[in-house]
Chains A and B, each alone.
Chain A
């Protein structure tokens, strides 16, 4: 069974602070996604990274895929209350685009 470990599990910060969330595995994935989930809703895709060492930016969010395609990080600059939510990483294996999800990082950004 492939496992994806996310850290930290919980993060409570003030508006304007920076933060990094980590997603680690001993397995190699063909691609890795980051999703954000808000209470009572399904996860929404933020980004997909495919190539080892790849860096993608989405406004204040920076995503990086490890060189060996086993780990990833999400960095948020100047966090805002609208960033509050559950962040999930998920690794894809080749067959049927099945995803293995991490346990999630719950982020709370306060004023």
Chain B
């Protein structure tokens, strides 16, 4: 049981490049989330999904897109990376009735130069 996994762990992009971050969970969770963590700002919700084929915007969605084609996977895309998107990205998941008790992946550290 791997829990929540994220690919890749580290990435360096140049401004304007695109990339996709992959999150996978093997716990059959309905809800999945993408956060970014910046110094002094805690974790902020980018996008989330309440089930396969559904996505919704969180607190800071601009510049990101997401897709949930399979229940176990949640993809985060950056179409044209900007230095302001340098951050650590975390994926999380939970059951629909678990009071917000989320399970987090190990994170992806992204640097945009």
Residues of A within 8 A of B (CB): 1, 4, 9, 30-31, 33, 35, 40-45, 48, 50, 88, 90-92, 96-99, 101-104
Which of B42, B44, B59 has its CB near the most chain A CB atoms (within 10 A)?
B42
Sorted nearest first, the 7 A-B pairs with minimum C-beta distance are: A92-B100, A42-B104, A101-B42, A31-B99, A97-B100, A101-B43, A103-B42
Whole-angstrom CA separation of A3 from B103 in the bound complex: 22
Contact among A9, A48, A101 with B99 in the assembled complex (CB-CB below 8 Å): A48
Whole-angstrom CA separation of A30 from B90 in the bound complex: 23
Contact among B31, B56, B102, B106 with A41 in the assembled complex (CB-CB below 8 Å): B106
Given A31-B100, A40-B107, A97-B102, 14 extra CB contacts under 8 A: A30-B100, A33-B99, A41-B106, A42-B104, A42-B105, A43-B90, A88-B42, A92-B99, A97-B31, A97-B98, A97-B99, A99-B33, A99-B43, A99-B45
Whole-angstrom CA separation of A28 from B84 in the bound complex: 31
Given contacts A40-B107, A97-B31, A98-B48, contact A103 B100 (CB under 8 A): no
Query: In angstroms, how far is the closest chain A Cβ from the Cβ of B32?
Result: 10
For B42, what are the chain A residues with a Cβ–Cβ distance below 8 Å? 4, 88, 101-104
For A45, what are the chain B residues with a Cβ–Cβ distance below 8 Å? 101-103
For B61, what are the chain A residues with a Cβ–Cβ distance below 8 Å? none
Query: In angstroms, how far is the closest chain A Cβ from the Cβ of B28?
Result: 16
For B31, what are the chain A residues with a Cβ–Cβ distance below 8 Å? 96-97
Chain B residue at minimal CB-CB distance from A49:
B99
For A40, what are the chain B residues with a Cβ–Cβ distance below 8 Å? 106-107
> Does B4 have its Cβ within 8 Å of any Cβ on chain A?
yes
CB atoms of B4 and A98 under 8 A apart: no
Question: B40-71 toward A: CB 8 Å interface, digit per residue (1/0)?
Answer: 11111100101000001011000000000000
For A4, what are the chain B residues with a Cβ–Cβ distance below 8 Å? 42
Whole-angstrom CA separation of A97 from B58 in the bound complex: 12
B:74-108 near A, CB below 8 Å? 90, 92, 94, 96, 98-107
CB atoms of A101 and B44 under 8 A apart: yes
